[in-house]
Structure 1
């Protein structure tokens, strides 16, 4: 699969004198952002497994110029187009993982059957809902033009947008669709509230123009951020458990979010952008089943390899294949193929055990036996094909009944995890096995200082 159509200029080398920088966004933005990177804080070691090095890697100074990294993304799925969306503006709310001076947007018509016209796009800091922070709204261009037509089956990447992104602070991306397509590319289970306007181009409009909340991300599938020093990304691939089902809406409590928080608190070279490529109902061995999107191997190029700065990938999947009565041999062969694909792309790849469940077809005696066989293979043979193994099943199992989730980690349906369960999964990741971001070695966590508003 080819990558997105790219618009705009090459990355420019920005001057970053010393260790303190300030960005002043255009268009009267009253917020100055300073990044202070204090030298001399060492990074500790984590976990007990794997062949981890005792010393964090250090990048050559000339490799540490400003660069792009994907700061937020979601995995695309097809959905029937809603005619009511024609002539409205979509306002998608997202939370970037990194801080930087510019952004660029990836819009997707990957599953479209006809070209998708987007007649206007803006980006701004969000108040967390449909509101835009005053003075932060920036128009988005594509090859210098304010509109773009995305071919069927394609993605596009915008020109750079001079808008400061801050790690964890919400951005709002607004897109005017003159006509609703018959098939819309979206991510169904966002666990994040976004908005649809009343009729009209409201890309620069205030919250009052957006009366309809939606729980999916539409058209927007990625936000890249220009960071002062290169930050690498790890992509988490999987099903509803990676998608975060069972955690709270608008709370960023997926296991990928918990891992991001853990790495950012560590600081230094441990910091990475943690990207989520989970799709509810996804299966390792089949495409498009019951709305579950394409398999991880089919969507690898779009959801993993195309992410700017991606160096690592963690695969956590298989529970839906077990429920569909696929054999342990089939599932482990699928894991092996995925690991080989990731390694052929030059990435570090990590396999995980399948978390326990006693729910419906996930909890039959045959499913329990199959899952146990897969997990035994991952523990014994996973490192033969991958760069490491994370035992998610052991981290969340009930000690008294290991075939079930521990009560405190169960969201209530016997399959999906609570926020505490997702934190336990993230705690099972050994950061020493990840690539990390060598250009941040020896630095403290980035502190974002705000003034004005």
Structure 2
């Protein structure tokens, strides 16, 4: 297979092409390669959402970026343009965005949207902004309780290269879908529609949240599986530095190389609880949005429970919740991995009752967890202080006895065995792809 970087370069040179197959064929021509188109085959986790059956290693829509929203109050967004920066985890020749009004009680109107390569701050790379349409129109009204995907847009998105997604909201949302702890600076403009403007000047207000935007998918040249990380603030990355991509999801993405490359999708919500009652919907309540509806999602890593302990839940309740969630994932034809709960000395998280129950949960995960999941990763052992396993090692403590430093999040990622994940075998050669590229004879 031709390397991803070579494909990206060629796709940029034929950017005006229509559709991924046309783009790939044109790219092959630029590279002087022979192209053979094969018939469609059976589908798998990366199959098309419309029920069609692309070849296992053919072009496929893949979730390149996701975030889990919660209900938020109005934030002076009406009549302004949001410019949100996201980092895709997959490369493709087309993209589509997902916008949410999941928690709204009245329709959410978006009058214009654009996608561009992010420049410095709120600036766009000149000449890269493209309008995003919905059913062929620049305006869309998202009904209460729903999430919509845009039309596909011919746009070369590259794995790891930041995108700027801009949305103009003419009216203030009543209950906006928001991910408050983005750990990524985004921007809100002065009043006006400047979605397609590369000028950062109008974007005088910075925010550390993602509003309305919940996903970016790309049409990849070959099917890729994705791994979804479900959890609380420890998956959200609290304790790491903003704008540095130091969450454990980022560190894990850096470890997945070669045939093990998978988009790593972060479905953490700070203060979330496995059994409900915390901030945001419990993992079971958001399973469809986080996992089941996500194109390419094949694996789930569940790292949660510390807030349940702080809320007074006992080990039996937490274990039952872990089993229920794992059973649901596996019944859905996906793989699930459980993780031990990391130690804490912070407030109720470190109270004697919580410590005893944490030890009981972790003992169950280590001994009985493998019978209920496809694997277990011992996060607690990875970051505990060897001299006192009930607390975080000083180098891994962000300073509050609960959250991790960037080094701590790297330690979590290092505790994941990439060989246990499904991987994306198409990227290592795999089966015959729908578009086969070979050197001319």
Q: TM-score range by the shorter chain?
A: 0.7 to 0.9
1:151 is matched with which residue?
Answer: 143
1:360 is matched with which residue?
Answer: 347
Runs of at least 5 residues in structure 2 that lack an aligned partner in the other structure: 18-25, 32-53, 431-441
2:281 is matched with which residue?
Answer: 294
1:4 is matched with which residue?
Answer: none
- Residue from 204, 209, 222 that aligns with 1:216: 209
1:441 is matched with which residue?
Answer: 428
2:307 is matched with which residue?
Answer: 320
Say whether 1:88 aligns with 2:80: yes
Superposed CA deviations along residues 73-92 of structure 1, whole A, max 9, x for unmatched, are 1001000113x211000111
Contact (CA 8 Å) 1:125, 1:170: kept in 2 or not? yes
Measured after TM superposition, the shift of residue 26 of structure 1 is 3.5
Once residues 360 and 18 of structure 1 are traced to their aligned partners in structure 2, the CA distance between those partners, rounded to angstroms, is 50
Once residues 203 and 294 of structure 2 are traced to their aligned partners in structure 1, the CA distance between those partners, rounded to angstroms, is 30
Once residues 244 and 304 of structure 2 are traced to their aligned partners in structure 1, the CA distance between those partners, rounded to angstroms, is 23
Contact (CA 8 Å) 1:128, 1:170: kept in 2 or not? no
SS at match of 1:63: coil
Say whether 1:108 aligns with 2:95: no
Measured after TM superposition, the shift of residue 225 of structure 1 is 0.9
Superposed CA deviations along residues 114-165 of structure 1, whole A, max 9, x for unmatched, are 1100010011000142101011110001111111000000000001111111
Say whether 1:274 aligns with 2:264: yes
**TM-score of the pair, normalised by structure 2:** 0.86
Contact (CA 8 Å) 1:93, 1:128: kept in 2 or not? no
Superposed CA deviations along residues 225-247 of structure 1, whole A, max 9, x for unmatched, are 11111111000000000000000
Structure 1 pair 17–438 and aligned structure 2 pair: CA distance change class (3 A):
closer
Measured after TM superposition, the shift of residue 196 of structure 1 is 0.3
Measured after TM superposition, the shift of residue 34 of structure 1 is 8.1
Once residues 309 and 261 of structure 2 are traced to their aligned partners in structure 1, the CA distance between those partners, rounded to angstroms, is 34
1:56 is matched with which residue?
Answer: none
SS at match of 1:361: helix
Contact (CA 8 Å) 1:93, 1:129: kept in 2 or not? no
Say whether 1:197 aligns with 2:184: no
SS at match of 1:163: strand
Once residues 317 and 191 of structure 1 are traced to their aligned partners in structure 2, the CA distance between those partners, rounded to angstroms, is 19
Say whether 1:240 aligns with 2:233: yes
Say whether 1:285 aligns with 2:269: no
Once residues 116 and 428 of structure 2 are traced to their aligned partners in structure 1, the CA distance between those partners, rounded to angstroms, is 31
1:68 is matched with which residue?
Answer: 61
Runs of at least 5 residues in structure 1 that lack an aligned partner in the other structure: 1-15, 28-32, 38-60, 444-453
Once residues 166 and 358 of structure 2 are traced to their aligned partners in structure 1, the CA distance between those partners, rounded to angstroms, is 43
Measured after TM superposition, the shift of residue 25 of structure 1 is 2.1
Superposed CA deviations along residues 302-359 of structure 1, whole A, max 9, x for unmatched, are 1111111000000000000000110100000000000011112111000000000011
1:78 is matched with which residue?
Answer: 71
CA RMSD of aligned residues (A): 2.3
2:325 is matched with which residue?
Answer: 338
**TM-score of the pair, normalised by structure 1:** 0.84
Measured after TM superposition, the shift of residue 18 of structure 1 is 10
Once residues 56 and 16 of structure 2 are traced to their aligned partners in structure 1, the CA distance between those partners, rounded to angstroms, is 28
1:140 is matched with which residue?
Answer: 132
2:15 is matched with which residue?
Answer: 25
Contact (CA 8 Å) 1:132, 1:172: kept in 2 or not? yes
Once residues 261 and 17 of structure 1 are traced to their aligned partners in structure 2, the CA distance between those partners, rounded to angstroms, is 21
Say whether 1:188 aligns with 2:192: no
Measured after TM superposition, the shift of residue 433 of structure 1 is 1.2
Superposed CA deviations along residues 85-118 of structure 1, whole A, max 9, x for unmatched, are 1100011110001111111000000111111000
